[in-house]
Structure 1
Amino acid sequence: MWNLPNLLFGLFSRDLGIDLGTANTLVHVRGKGIVISEPSYVAIDKKTKEVKAVGADAKAMAGKTPASIIAIRPLRDGVIADFDVVEQMLHEFIRKVHTQTVVGPRPRVVVGIPSGVTEVEKRAAREASLNAGAREAYVVEEPMAAAIGAGLPVNEPIGSMIVDIGGGTTEVAVISLGGIVINHSLRTAGDEIDEAIIQYARREHNLVIGERTAESAKIACGSAYPLDLELRFTLRGRDVLTGLPKAVELSSVELREAIAGPVNSIVETVKLALEETPPELVADIMERGITLAGGGALLLGLDRRLQMETKMPVYVADDPLTCVVRGTGIMVESLEDEKYRRIIAASQEGRRLKYSR
């Protein structure tokens, strides 16, 4: 795995770090940085199974395609729901990368996956990468990759807590000495917040809206804690009763009520993880704080809500959307480094560190 041929290949191949996310897929190329950041969407012809578009082009088609074409998200809750489509999506992204770089050996790939997946789901991620053109494929747990990308001292004897809120999963982990000590993987995240907004609009205003409208509302004025200046957003959709177009203006107060369920689940999971954390590591977290990563970290007031609930400092990582892919990128830049070899090996085997309490 780490022999001389691999080292020589690494000098010439464009190894990839991939954040294979439910909502977005990001690709880091060794020596170049992040070159792809696109929605995890694929548009397919239902009859021929031919891929019509991938990424942003496919997302733009969602809800607007003729009957013969469907635009789908092949990952759900952070795991592969449609293996063949994910393989084709990865193949297209890897092809894009190789057309932008010099021709060389097929790349080695490190893929970020949720920490709560099964061995079958891990194997599916590796095989999809290999079938898409990777020479070698390794998986790394997303909270570890996010912590590395956020610049936390994961290899030091210091407790660090990362809360990575993506589209399909929320990963809460306490990390020390290059391993995950406490971990909770919750399949409640950005998608469930969007769905809560959709259900609220239908229940309270008889308004049918789509996923993209709900996501826009969440980004514009969704919040987890009262804002200094409350915001407003106009939802546009179809009236359930008349079937005609309808617009409703909501305040951030109403949206906060709408998304209270999934937000409360995330907060309770963070508190549960802290309750299970060994005292010495809790002391480190009290001093260093909790780091938020992933797109959900951008939800207004979430850091203040968690700070109030946990009585600990809470920080949003720099560019939280790219933490996982930056972490996998750091690993592919140094695949021969002993400390990253240990982390990858632990992720393949799903090992956890044990601390005496």
Structure 2
Amino acid sequence: MARGNLFDNLSSDIGIDLGTCNTLIYVRGKGIVINEPSVVAVERGTKKVVAVGADAKRMLWKTPGDIIAIRPLRDGVIADLETTEKMIRYFISKVLPRHWFIKPRMVIGVPSCITEVERRAVEESAYKAGARDVKVIEESLAAAIGADIPIFEPAGHMICDIGGGTTEISVISLGGMVVTNAIRLGGDEFDEAIIKHVRSVHNLIIGEQTAERLKIEIGNASPDKTIEKVEIKGTDAITGLPRRLEIDSVEVREALKDPITQIIEEIKRTLGQTPPELAADIVERGIVMTGGGSLLKGLPKLISKETGVPVILAERPLDCVALGAGKYFEYAKGFDNTRSIYDNLNG
């Protein structure tokens, strides 16, 4: 057996969804082993790590002066390389033995809209965190693999992945992305839209965690039969004093209208760029939705209504990118075969 194959069989294959909001890690043979917020708390000045993940998220906006809680990723890309490396290293140390016999291979899903410099930053952080081999692939391709879409078929499959910082829409056929569009808009912008609405309409300042709770509990994209209400607390923008407010699902839907419209327009644009034969396949098979943003109540229904195309929510929408990244090496032979077909056609 070749030395490279021996290493591949003995090492751990790790798939990482390095998300703006959450980092998910898949280990071959174990499944999803990490699903924690992409937050790191460090000491101011020394940059010594105090907490990572869920523990660090609880410190956001609540830390004393000598500790700062950092979200090292913004809009799906690394904003703080050093902190991202520490975060990846910490998560991997939780799932792998303390002394690795062979360093792992890592596949990381990233938005297709990132620059080459940003892509290299992702690779560099993974190598510094202890990877033997790093492969960076587009999030929508990873999500398609994770959603068990038969990507090597000579047919069109559309996937829409709505993450925390980006939304990516791709048409995949024969293992390659025929059309792909990505916008730096996702679940974070949903939260921001709710914050802006509550302040402009009610003069109440609320934090990201409150906005996220509103989105999850009563957020919706389509009108519903029942109107739900939730009480929130914040700071009065005029008096500066704490205040309570009851807000309903109709208002939250109105607040989310703008970012949702932008996502739908991007889906329509991608459909318009799709070759007719593949578009016919998509009308028959539907659009598969993945990512945390796809869980917004009524969103698949609204997208279907606006596009005239069936919309299917993946079985595990939050896990698809990590699952697909982790399974990438199992699919690698298929990609090699597809490339050889293209080479023969173009030769």
Residue 161 of structure 2 aligns to a residue in which SS?
strand
Distance 1:131 1:33 in 2: 24
Residue 152 of structure 2 aligns to a residue in which SS?
coil
Residue 173 of structure 2 is aligned to residue 176 of structure 1: yes
> What's the offset of the Cα at 1:259?
1.1
Residue 337 of structure 2 is aligned to residue 339 of structure 1: no
* Residues 220-278 of structure 1: per-residue CA shift (max 9 Å, x gap): 11111111322112221111112111111111110111111101100100011001100
Partner of 2:271: 274
Distance 1:154 1:114, change over 3 A: same
The alignment of Structure 1 onto Structure 2 pairs a total of residues equal to 342
TM-score, length-normalised on structure 2?
Answer: 0.95
Are the counterparts in 2 of residues 115 and 142 from structure 1 also a CA contact under 8 Å?
yes
Partner of 1:117: 114
Distance 2:244 2:97 in 1: 45
Distance 1:49 1:167, change over 3 A: same
Partner of 2:192: 195
How do residues 87-98 of structure 1 correspond to structure 2 at under 5 angstroms?
A: 87-98=85-96
Residue 211 of structure 2 is aligned to residue 227 of structure 1: no
Residue 282 of structure 2 is aligned to residue 285 of structure 1: yes
Distance 2:285 2:41 in 1: 44
Partner of 1:45: 43
Partner of 1:348: none
Matched letter for residue 4 of structure 1? A
Distance 1:47 1:309 in 2: 51
Residue 327 of structure 2 aligns to a residue in which SS?
helix
Distance 1:257 1:320, change over 3 A: same
| Greater Cα offset, 241-250 or 106-115 | 241-250
Distance 1:19 1:340 in 2: 20
Residue 161 of structure 1 aligns to a residue in which SS?
strand
> What's the offset of the Cα at 1:16?
0.6
Matched letter for residue 58 of structure 2? A
> What's the offset of the Cα at 1:305?
0.5
Distance 2:249 2:4 in 1: 53
Residue 167 of structure 2 is aligned to residue 160 of structure 1: no
Distance 1:55 1:342, change over 3 A: farther
Distance 1:148 1:159 in 2: 14
Distance 2:2 2:268 in 1: 46
Distance 2:199 2:97 in 1: 46
* Residues 95-134 of structure 1: per-residue CA shift (max 9 Å, x gap): 111138x842110100000011111111111110000111
> What are the ranges of 5 or more consecutive residues in structure 1 without an aligned counterpart?
346-351, 353-357
Distance 1:124 1:341, change over 3 A: farther
Matched letter for residue 206 of structure 1? N
Matched letter for residue 155 of structure 2? I
Percent identity between the two aligned chains: 53
Partner of 1:23: 21
Are the counterparts in 2 of residues 14 and 104 from structure 1 also a CA contact under 8 Å?
no
| Greater Cα offset, 6-15 or 42-51 | 6-15
Matched letter for residue 82 of structure 2? D
Distance 1:168 1:314 in 2: 22
Match of 1:7 among 5, 8, 30: 5
Partner of 1:355: none
Match of 1:57 among 42, 55, 58: 55
Distance 1:6 1:165 in 2: 36
Distance 2:203 2:5 in 1: 61
Matched letter for residue 176 of structure 2? G
Distance 1:191 1:342, change over 3 A: farther
Residue 99 of structure 1 aligns to a residue in which SS?
coil
Partner of 1:85: 83
> What's the offset of the Cα at 1:341?
5.1
How do residues 63-78 of structure 1 correspond to structure 2 at under 5 angstroms?
A: 63-78=61-76
Distance 1:249 1:186 in 2: 33
> What's the offset of the Cα at 1:35?
0.6
Matched letter for residue 55 of structure 2? D
Partner of 1:105: 102
TM-score, length-normalised on structure 1?
Answer: 0.92
How do residues 191-270 of structure 1 correspond to structure 2 at under 5 angstroms?
A: 191-270=188-267
Distance 2:62 2:337 in 1: 46
Are the counterparts in 2 of residues 331 and 340 from structure 1 also a CA contact under 8 Å?
no
How do residues 125-140 of structure 1 correspond to structure 2 at under 5 angstroms?
A: 125-140=122-137
Distance 1:26 1:342, change over 3 A: farther
Residue 308 of structure 2 is aligned to residue 328 of structure 1: no
Are the counterparts in 2 of residues 190 and 296 from structure 1 also a CA contact under 8 Å?
yes
> What are the ranges of 5 or more consecutive residues in structure 2 without an aligned counterpart?
343-347
* Residues 305-334 of structure 1: per-residue CA shift (max 9 Å, x gap): 0011001110110110001001012114x2
Distance 2:28 2:223 in 1: 42
